[in-house]
């Protein structure tokens, strides 16, 4: 079976064609600058096939983008399938499923309506995801499609974890609550952690740290998300590349009054000019920050310290929330690659049974146990694979 995985943004569209049973990827790539000038990247994973890198292709809308992807996949010379009939289903990443979806679903008219109803909760993301789905419906009519939500895995959180201490009507009437994001990743790596530890997920308390450009930490108790650091929007929780993470709401009033900022200008600062980039004044990329810190840049060092400290505090909090922890998982760009940050985050947690193995930790991008053999809490490095998770959910609902 072949599943086409689509992650549609407002002007971009990532795709991957894979076999969900084996995890073998046939081709992947990216359409960029949709609606502008159109750039197409195609990376076949089959030997002897040639890649395309950011070539100019006219893509006025997402429909032409999908058409471009399909043409490349079935291309006589460099394609990886004989015809469109070999695409059995399409899995779409959808950012916000609100309270309507606690798992992936086959896309129907009713499901589309429910995804549209979630637009106010994710005004930038859901319209783009919907556009991607509509484009596929147009270009590949009759092919079954599935929506996989970033929020779904976190729908198991109890009310005490998801309710904000605001007047209750804002939850009842306006659905203001913690939703959490990166759910597909947290679900995937917590499942892999159980497999690596050879124990049923139901018997494990796991803290998953998805540390990338956007970062979130989740408490997974018995295979279910019971708390997570992102909130109503992906702005909450840890300081991120350019996002502030949690802060005292009183700061907004102070800064908006002092600098005569509108709420949109303020939110733009919190989303795009804050985080480790805002603090360091150097970069949002942790590689640049580590390099600058090594050369003595104190603000770069402070930004990395703040981030690591934030992750450490969440680990402590979630161990307390679950009444213990069996495993801590590191994943995503920083979690998979930064040897020093993993070590720094885990240091000082010996009191709760975390003991790292520095040699094992000196590794990147592959599933590894990085704690010492006698560490009570296992620490694991697990590369995330959201596409595989989407493909598997899609296959399960379309077989």
Residues of this chain that interact with ligand ADP (CB under 6 A) are 212-214, 241, 285-287, 332-334, 337-338
Identify the active-site residue in 150, 221, 326, 385: 150
Is 311 strand, coil or helix? helix
CB of 92 to ligand ADP, least distance (A): 17
Q: Which C-beta is closer to ligand ADP: that of 68 or that of 368?
A: 368
CB of 305 to ligand ADP, least distance (A): 14
CB of 331 to ligand ADP, least distance (A): 8
Q: How many helices (H) and strands (E) does the chain have?
A: 15, 14
Q: Which C-beta is closer to ligand ADP: that of 25 or that of 89?
A: 25
Per the annotation, the verdict on 88 as an active-site residue is no
Q: Which C-beta is closer to ligand ADP: that of 267 or that of 282?
A: 282
When CB distances to ligand ADP are compared, the closest residue is 333
CB of 319 to ligand ADP, least distance (A): 24
E strand spans, the chain: 3-8, 13-18, 25-32, 39-44, 52-56, 89-94, 105-106, 145-149, 205-211, 215-221, 224-228, 327-331, 368-369, 378-381
C-beta of residue 148 within 8 angstroms of C-beta of residue 114: no
Q: Which C-beta is closer to ligand ADP: that of 100 or that of 276?
A: 276
Tell me the CB-side half-sphere exposure of residue 173, using CA atoms within 13 A. 5
| Residue-wise DSSP of 345-375 | HHTT-GGGTB-B-HHHHS--SS-EE-B-TT-
Q: Which C-beta is closer to ligand ADP: that of 2 or that of 185?
A: 185
C-beta of residue 181 within 8 angstroms of C-beta of residue 148: no
CB of 253 to ligand ADP, least distance (A): 30
Q: Report the distance separating Cα 286 and Cα 277, nearest Å.
A: 9
**Cross-strand bridge partners of residue 371:** 356
Residues acting as catalytic residues: 150
């Amino acid at each position: 079976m072949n599943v086409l995985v689509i992650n549609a943004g407002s002007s971009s569209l990532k795709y991957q064609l894979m076999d969900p049973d084996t995890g073998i990827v046939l081709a992947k790539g990216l359409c960029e600058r949709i609606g502008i000038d159109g750039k197409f990247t195609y990376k076949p994973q089959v030997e002897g096939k040639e890649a395309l890198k950011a070539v100019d292709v006219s893509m006025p809308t997402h429909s032409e983008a999908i058409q471009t992807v399909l043409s490349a996949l079935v291309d006589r010379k460099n394609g990886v399938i004989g015809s469109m009939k070999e695409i059995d289903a399409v899995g779409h990443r959808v950012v916000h499923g609100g309270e309507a979806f606690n798992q992936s679903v086959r896309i129907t008219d009713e499901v589309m309506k429910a995804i549209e109803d979630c637009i106010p909760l994710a005004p930038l993301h859901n319209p783009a995801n919907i556009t991607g789905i509509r484009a596929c419906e147009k270009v590949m009519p009759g092919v079954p499609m599935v929506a996989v939500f970033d929020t779904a895995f976190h729908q198991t959180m109890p009310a005490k974890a998801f309710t904000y201490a605001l007047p209750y009507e804002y939850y009842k009437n306006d659905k203001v609550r913690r939703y959490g994001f990166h759910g597909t990743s947290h679900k995937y790596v917590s499942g892999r952690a159980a497999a690596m530890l050879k124990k049923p997920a139901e018997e494990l308390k796991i803290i998953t740290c998805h540390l990338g450009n956007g970062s979130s930490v989740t408490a997974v108790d018995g295979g279910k998300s019971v708390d997570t650091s992102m909130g109503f929007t992906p702005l909450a929780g840890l300081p991120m590349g350019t996002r502030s993470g949690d802060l005292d709401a009183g700061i907004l009033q102070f800064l908006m009054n002092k600098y005569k900022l509108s709420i949109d200008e303020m939110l733009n600062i919190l989303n795009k000019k804050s985080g480790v980039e805002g603090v360091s004044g150097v970069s949002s990329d942790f590689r640049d920050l580590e390099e600058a810190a090594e050369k003595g840049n104190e603000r770069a060092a402070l930004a990395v310290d703040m981030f690591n400290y934030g992750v450490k505090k969440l680990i402590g909090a979630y161990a307390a929330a679950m009444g213990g922890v069996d495993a801590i998982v590191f994943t995503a760009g920083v979690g998979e690659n930064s040897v020093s940050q993993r070590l720094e985050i885990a240091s000082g947690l010996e009191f709760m049974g975390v003991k790292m193995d520095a040699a094992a930790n000196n590794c990147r991008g592959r599933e590894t146990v990085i704690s010492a053999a006698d560490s009570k809490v296992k620490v694991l490095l697990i590369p995330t694979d959201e596409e595989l998770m989407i493909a598997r959910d899609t296959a399960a609902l379309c077989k």
